[in-house]
Amino acid sequence: MLRLGLLLCLVALPLRAEEVVLGLSKDRVAITATFEGSDILIFGAVKREAPIPEVPLDVVITVSGPSKPVTVRRKERRFGIWINTAAVDLDAAPTFYAVATSGPLDQVLTETEDLRHRVSIPRAIRSVGAASMAEDAGRFTDALIRIRERKDAYQLLENAVALDEQTLFRTAISLPANLTEGAYATRIFLTREGRVVSQFETVIDVRKVGLERWLFTLSRQQPLAYGLMSLAIAIAAGWAASAAFRVLRRT
């Protein structure tokens, strides 16, 4: 009876007719002293166990950096000076977030699916207690998004995923120079009529290397030594500049 029950359960499970086979141009990004950003090529194919359905497929790809709490402050001009008048604490906001789609986001993904999978930029930001801090808490989230969009830390790339023959897909995500170390979660969603039919997730590892890694580790593990070294470098640089200036005056 137990075996019969297990067999019936397996038969009742739906077969996954479409799955993602993913590739990355690189799964590690090294931050060096001369790092100026990097482009990640994300490509793959749709593996099928049945003929291609008549309803077209769409692809949504997200790349998310480590999430951290953020305090957003509102400044207003009072008596001729700018002062902070209100602040909202957001529980977690990605340090980097990009969404690339094969069509307009509101057409390839329904609101329900966006809410379930937290795909769009506003959905990726968690602000559970923000409403209790300000009546217009949503405006603080919008302000954070605008600021990070100007720095290319948040990117909405509609129609940026090329989908060939409903099978092969590819896109490129540009990572800015001011990246935060950590695991960058990369998600691929296959959608049809706005509903997610399959998804896949992998990770891009972003780490400091070389001199950048040594200085970062020193500043965290031995802050006193790091401070003394910074002070010594500043004194040496000042002395060298002063000596060079005296030589130039004599000539």
Q: What is the pLDDT of residues 96-112, one digit of tens each?
A: 999 999 999 999 999 99
Residue 109, Cβ neighbours under 10 Å: how many?
24
Q: How many helices (H) and strands (E) does the chain have?
A: 7, 12
3-state secondary structure of 186: strand
Residues 6+ apart with CB under 8 A from 123: 114, 115
What pLDDT digit, counting tens, does each position of 123-166 carry?
999 877 655 566 677 788 888 999 999 999 999 999 999 999 88
Place of tokens 């019969």: 4
Q: Give the pLDDT score at 32.
A: 63
Mean pLDDT, range 224-247, rounded to an integer? 70
CB 125 within 8 A of CB 90: yes
Strand partners, 183: 205
Residues 6+ apart with CB under 8 A from 53: 192
Query: Which tokens go with 175?
Result: 């990572």
What pLDDT digit, counting tens, does each position of 155-193 carry?
999 999 999 988 899 999 888 888 888 889 999 999 999
What angle do helix axes 210-221 and 223-250 make, rounded to 10 degrees? 120
What pLDDT digit, counting tens, does each position of 61-76 carry?
999 999 999 888 877 7
Q: Considering the entire predicted model, what is its pTM?
A: 0.74
